[in-house]
Chains A and B, each alone.
Chain A
């Protein structure tokens, strides 16, 4: 089995290569089948790994290739399949396979299918590489690969400038996080001279004291990387726009897999995070704020896919909350169930949108593509699972587990309240969407029926959205708790409050979704009569994050340059000339050369300082090649000097 490990990321990557190199000779059907077969091969290999006892034995390991051997540093393409990655690999390849199958019918009418399948397969390979990597270098490679594919797939219909710019936005925003992750990796490498994960963990627990500053900085860097990829505040702005891509892409990349890479990363690096309670608390706090942010923004959206996008942001907030409270197993648990119900929602939404001739507004979506009942059922299952309707849905079990473990953490009561509020709002927005979509489904005729091929993945996902939760019953319930016991070796057990408290909390948390559904029903009724939520513009624009960034970050730089220039000209023209002249007159009048020299020179110094600032800022982009070379050289000199010193 060790020798087959490469097949998991290898099959999709190979198929992507075939598609991009030989795709010109193939027809649509062949390419689609080839891509799906590659995904199936990866999934089957994962199944084989399960059957061969990957779930309970030592981690499987395979070193595929050694990049270069310099002294004792040998970066490898090494794969490692332990329980954490097994969870991820199963979800990614399984959901990936379903979405490939779904895409066959979905993309049938698009001319750029070759590019689509190339990037979809490449994405799958990159994601699998990311989760299987046994060293941070390879992990980073996968990380960038999925970022690239995400960029290409968001801007898939790049002829529309809005969509193309959405792709760029996603790429640039996540790049900020990526940079931070890279810095974190550099830091780790500079400290321990290795990037291999098992070695790194031993070294971390041996050499770094809890609460040490270096550990905190490193953990924070890595956390910032995760924030970028997982669309948490403050780097969440790209995800809503990422809905410009095709719906299966949204389902696969922006709901089920890539955005959870950050969760995986933190879970993977948990020995590091456990050293620094402060960063851990930050993770939880960011998660909690994001829950509220995403849920409240979703409440005011009219675009079906944007509702789901904000919902994704908020759900990943739950995962971060769990990670921050040390409940890594439950974060992964929620990741799994979320992958199922969110891709179910997205795929259903995609089918409905396609059936309505690419109409996105939930007020106007009426046709359900000839499978009205099925669409209805699938969406209801997904919505219920997302809201966490008690007992019968998978979402309930995972969310309940998280909520219970949040309580005993530091400032846990506050976090719990926020999360519970998030649950309520989640239920409201998703049922609002549901009621708006399906209450009057007869209002439009079906334009194009939904293909039968697209129905099967929906069906499977709906089944999983219901049943996946039964592996882990909440604390204190008379059901099995397979999940947390299975991941015990990796993470240790999470603590939960005394049982009496638990039952009260659970009761409240399970009543909230039902309450939310009720509120949604009333809300929709009132909305039909023209009622609008308070603050709805603010919420619809995602708390005005985009506008703020534009003003603060983009404008700031220009503002600063302007400021220097303005002050300079102001001082020269209005004041300084007069002042200097005045002083000059005064000086000559008093015949005191001393003052003349001091004042004039001092003011001139100030002036030239300002002028220098303006010149430096404005010539940072002066287009002169030599100047750029000079700057690079100066940077090299400085860095090398710093390092040597």
Chain B
């Protein structure tokens, strides 16, 4: 049961991500991405990271992708006239390269990892993550905060009507 859900979700994730490659309408692409992200959140949950699953939905799907959609709506982009990748001539080389890269990654992963002895999923509680965040990684949290602030200021500056 558990495995079925996992592999189904994984298939949904990959298919949805793959759909971005072939759709014309940016809104549809964004929605496929949202689906992929939601499925990924479920994968996180199944892998035993409930906090990250919730954060994935809240931040990625709930905030970032809404921004994305918002922008597309404001620009009122209609389906692109661009030739779909599979119709245009130059899709073979990138696809081939990507395939090779994937295979190489697989070789890399399988070369590096011994299969674990016990394969039970341990759920890592939000509390543990929080303690790790505000314990050894406190400095990085601060840095992330500064990064966000910097991004905020940058966006405010860029979106002003009259720039310096």
Contacts and interface: CB of A to CB of B under 8 A. Distances in A.
Contacts of B93: 630
A617 B98 CA distance: 23
Contact of B104 (A66, A630, A634, A644): A644
A626 B98 CA distance: 13
Interface in B75-89: none
B105 A637 contact: no
B116 interface: no
A447 interface: no
A630 B94 contact: yes
Contact of B94 (A65, A633, A636, A640): A633
A633 B111 CA distance: 21
B144 to A, nearest CB: 14
A634 B94 CA distance: 9
A641 B100 contact: yes
B94 A644 contact: no
Interface in B121-140: 136, 139
Interface string A603-645: 0000000000000000000000010001001101100110010
Interface in A96-127: none
A636 B103 CA distance: 12
A634 B139 contact: no
Contacts of A636: 101
A641 B94 CA distance: 16
Interface in B10-27: none
Contacts of B97: 630, 633-634, 637
B101 A65 contact: no
Interface in B95-122: 97-98, 100-101, 104-105, 107-108, 111
A496 B94 CA distance: 64
Where chain A touches its partner, the secondary structure class is: helix
A637 B103 CA distance: 10
B101 to A, nearest CB: 5
Contacts of A65: 139
Nearest to B93: A630
A12 B97 CA distance: 49
B111 A644 contact: yes
Contacts of B105: 640
A134 B142 CA distance: 25
Given A65-B139, A630-B93, A630-B94, A637 B108 contact: no
Contacts of A626: 94
Contacts of A634: 97
Contacts of A66: 136
B151 to A, nearest CB: 18
Given A65-B139, A644-B111, A633 B104 contact: no
A637 B139 contact: no
A16 to B, nearest CB: 15
A75 to B, nearest CB: 13
A633 B107 CA distance: 17
Contacts of B107: 644
Contacts of A640: 101, 104-105, 108
A524 to B, nearest CB: 51
B139 A641 contact: no
Interface of B: 93-94, 97-98, 100-101, 104-105, 107-108, 111, 136, 139
Given A633-B98, A640-B108, A641-B100, 18 more contacts: A65-B139, A626-B94, A630-B93, A630-B97, A633-B97, A633-B101, A634-B97, A637-B97, A637-B100, A637-B101, A637-B104, A640-B101, A640-B105, A641-B104, A644-B104, A644-B107, A644-B108, A644-B111
Top 5 closest A-B pairs, CB basis? A640-B104, A637-B101, A633-B97, A637-B100, A637-B97
